[in-house]
Amino acid sequence: MAVPIAVLDCDLLLYGRGHRTLDRFKLEDVTDEYLVSTYGFPRQFICYLVDLLGATLSRPTQRSRAISPETQILAALGFYTSGSFQTRMGDAIGISQASMSRCVANVTEALVERASQFIHFPKDEATVQTLKEEFYGLAGMPGVLGVVDCTHVAIKAPNAEDLSYVNRKGLHSLNCLMVCDSRGVLLSAETHWPGSLADCTVLEQAALTSQFETELHKDGWLLGDSSFLLRTWLMTPLHIPETPAEYRYNMAHSATHNVIERTFRTIRARFRCLDGSKGTLQYSPEKSSHIILACCVLHNISLQHGLDVWSAPAAGHVEQSEEEYEQTESMDSEACRVRQELLLTHFS
């Protein structure tokens, strides 16, 4: 499908003089199968992104001989889903590797600007109730508003002196805190935390904690694993279950919490720039964080378009959080009381 054309200079493409838009690649000229295999998404999805981001990606004046929004989006999707600029995509759409990099930056920022539109907790009572019912249907765990966990994404070393991004494995990474619903839709995504921070520290400092302690629902909770401390709004497993009720609670907790692990795997499989198979993200921590968040936005949009969250193949190399945490019970007596009441009411 590659069209042999002369590749123009990056700056001329994006900022050069003239009144024509460079648009040598047409969606209508290729099949859906080609779009999915090359860019990771079908035509309808790509057209939706063009409508969503087109105004932002278009130049405000007639001075620029700019790359069209459609071509910019294809270039960005190509990078997100392959993890590399060194692909046939640049040739297929007629732009250089440098231009592809510029397109990725433009589309990433446009998606990040819309993150709150696509990644958020439901606010109306009916939707919240539906959220709880869908979680309850998984394994009988009541009151669940979301499952939370952290995952690491490898990045290049910011500089030799900065050790804040070095994780337990000795690799540079961002530690990303995310919450999803029972279908894998992301409800919260904080992608900027340095890899040296433990999961529990990330949560302590996260906007998510402030949300749940000051704003969100008092009649439900998130589920987190034992790397987090028990809170009134965050139910963790019992470290040493002893009674049948405690075992049932832990089993329901584990089966429900597993949704976010599956979601992490799916995001990495769909967006290979995050899975480490083509190397680390070659950007600053800030830009890398934005790329991760842009992929999270696309993940949620794909679910809105009926692209099954569990249908993607398993990723190859995965750099995920595998914390070696000390298992210590929370000293929050109110949180312990809430969990004990949950045990007595629903698992005894």
pLDDT at 22 over 50: no
Tell me 224's DSSP state: -
pLDDT tens per residue across span 149-159 = 999 999 999 88
Q: What is the mean pLDDT of the chain?
A: 84
Average pLDDT over residues 28-39: 85
* pLDDT score at 19: 33
CA distances to 168, 238, 249, 341 from 336, in Å:
30, 10, 14, 9
At 287, the pLDDT band (50, 70, 90 cuts) reads very high
Q: Is 38 exposed, middle or buried (0-12, 13-18, 19+ CB in 10 A)?
A: buried
Say how many residues make up the chain: 348
Q: Which is it for strands 221-223 and 144-154: parallel, antiparallel or unpaired? A: parallel
pLDDT at 27 over 80: no
Contact 178, 149 (CB under 8 A): yes
Gyration radius of the chain's alpha carbons: 22
Tell me 313's DSSP state: P
pLDDT tens per residue across span 212-248 = 988 766 689 999 999 999 999 999 999 999 999 999 9
Q: Which one of 157-171, 288-302, 304-318 scores highest in mean pLDDT?
A: 288-302
17: left (phi over 0), alpha (psi -120 to 50) or beta: beta
Three-state DSSP class for residue 5: coil
143: which residues sit within 8 A by CB, 6+ positions away?
A: 132, 219, 220, 221, 342
Quick one: how far is CA 222 from the chain centroid? 18
pLDDT tens per residue across span 154-212 = 999 988 677 899 999 999 999 999 999 999 999 999 999 999 999 999 999 999 999 99
